[in-house]
Amino acid sequence: MDSDTVWRHVDTQRGEVADLIEAIDARDPASWDTPSLCAGWTVGDVAAHLTLPNVPMSRMLFEVVRCGFRFNTAVHRLAIADTRTPAQIAADLRALVGFRRHPPGTTECEPLTDLLVHAQDICVPLDIDRPMPVDAAVAAAERVWGMGFPFNARKRFAGVRLVATDADFAVGAGREVRAPIRDLLLLLTGRPSAVTATG
């Protein structure tokens, strides 16, 4: 998938997830305290995290240094300390449409993967079925498979061949596991999934 197509998907996801945040808040504001699929994060934490590109670089560097250069700890600290309302988070996420920055050492597929997976982190615990655009999910899964840290997918699924049943995606070698690309992406990123690929 070319860069422009990836960014179009990113923009679409930002708008749709902003709508989702508002809909969840209107339905049940208590939902924000629900544990998400992302271990140690609530649904509200995940929603706030998706606006991370809005954080000034100076603030991000300060938090990273403050957390002993542990990036994941720094972004978690930012999320749990966030005091914005869901409406403000949704507005800030919409404001990112057209924004084209990604962290050094990453590609445009990282923001796409963040949006696709974190939307599921929010939706699955709340029993919301959120479809995933197949071509975007394939691009994200291919990136996760090839990138190593932080998911280390190749190592975790050594001896397994993962095959999408609804997309042109197949990686690995060994015992074959077949599932929709949405489930495979969740599996590759370490989320609880309907797919069992170990053992």
pLDDT greater than 80 at residue 23: yes
Model confidence pLDDT, tens digit, residues 137-185: 999 999 999 998 889 999 999 999 999 999 999 999 999 999 999 999 9
The confidence score (pLDDT) of residue 82 equals: 74
Q: Using alpha carbons only, what angle is made at residue 111 by residues 30 and 90, rounded to the nearest 5 degrees? A: 35
Q: Tell me: the pLDDT tens digits for 98-133?
A: 998 877 778 999 999 999 999 999 999 999 999 999
The model carries a pTM of 0.87
Tell me the C-alpha distance between 118 and 51, whole Å: 12
Q: Per the structure block, which two tokens stand in for 39?
A: 């271990």
- Give the separation between CA 4 and CA 13, rounded to whole angstroms: 14
User: Strand 160-164 relative to strand 175-179: parallel, antiparallel, unpaired?
Assistant: parallel
More confident residue, 196 or 155: 155
pLDDT tens profile 35-94: 999 888 999 999 998 987 555 555 545 444 455 545 565 566 666 777 789 999 999 999
For residue 35 the two structure tokens come to 């544990």
d(CA 44, CA 193): 21
| Sign of torsion over alpha carbons 141, 142, 145, 150 | negative
Q: β-strands 170-172, 175-179: how paired? A: unpaired
